[in-house]
Each structure stands twice: as C-alpha cells, then as structure tokens.
Amino acid sequence: MYLDSNTLHGMQEHVTADDIEKGTGGSCQACPIALAVQRMFPTYEICVEMEQITLFEADEVYAVLRASEALADWIDAYDNENNVTPITLFIKTLNVKEYKYMIDMTTEQIAA
C-alpha cells in the first residue's frame, strides 16, 4: 500500500472491546491501538508510543503519525491498567513540524 495524503487522510478503524481484552499494556506492537492500526495497514509493522505511531516495512519508516493528546491519555490509562472503553481512531492531515499526519480518537459507542 502506497501511503500518501489521499490514502491516509480520513482513514478510520475501531479499537474494539476484543482489542482491549487481547491487547498487552506497554507493548508497542501488541497494545489495543497497535492491533487496530495493524488492521488499517496489514502489510506494515506498527510501533505505538505515547506520542506517535510509526509504520515500518523492512526497517524503513513509511509514516509517522502524531498521537493526539486524547489518544496519548487513552494509551497511558490502558498501560496503567485503568478501565478504558472502545474508541474509533481516525487519521487527519496535520503538517506541523516533523509530522504530516495526526491520529486521533472519538469515543463513539462501538459494537463489540
């Protein structure tokens, strides 16, 4: 999958109750966010950090998505074993400093 602004902007994926249950706190590749982002980009390796999500292929960085403050708070809550609810992730164009894109969340009710 070629990644450009037309591909990324507006993409959405749900972080489901199943992702929350099966995810591993503190794991950049197995947390619920990583599981959901992996569904968005199945051919890329995913690394979720508090402030950004990086997509790799063969050790080459393809995209770095800035995590919104709300998403970083959700990740922190999950990593600290606090209760979190399903969310919807969405990507939008950012073009600020070193980031071209932001990944954000909405707390819409998600079907499990």
pLDDT, tens digit, for every residue of 79-109? 999 999 999 999 988 776 677 777 788 766 4
pLDDT, tens digit, for every residue of 36-79? 999 999 999 999 999 999 999 888 888 889 999 999 999 999 99
Quick check: is 111 in a domain? Answer: no
Chain Cα centroid distance, residue 93 = 15
Quick check: is 16 in a domain? Answer: yes
Residue 25 φ then ψ, to 5°: -60, 140
Query: What does the pLDDT read at residue 61?
Result: 87
Portion of the chain with pLDDT greater than 70, in percent: 87
Which residue in 44, 111, 30, 102 sits closest to 71, CA to CA?
Answer: 102
What is the domain range of residue 11? Answer: 5-106
CA 40-10-4 angle, to 5 degrees, is 75
Quick check: is 92 in a domain? Answer: yes
Span 22-45, average pLDDT: 95
Q: Which residues of 70-106 are buried (b: 16+ CB within 10 A; e: fewer)?
A: ebbebbeebbeeeebebbbbbbeebeeeebbbbbbbe
Quick check: is 100 in a domain? Answer: yes
Q: pTM, whole model, 2 decimals?
A: 0.85
- pLDDT tier at 111 (50, 70, 90 boundaries)? very low
Quick check: is 112 in a domain? Answer: no
Query: What does the pLDDT read at residue 52?
Result: 94
Q: Helical H runs in 3-102? A: 5-8, 17-22, 32-40, 69-79
Query: What is the count of structural domains for the chain?
Result: 1
d(Cα 99, Cα 3) in Å, to the nearest integer? 14
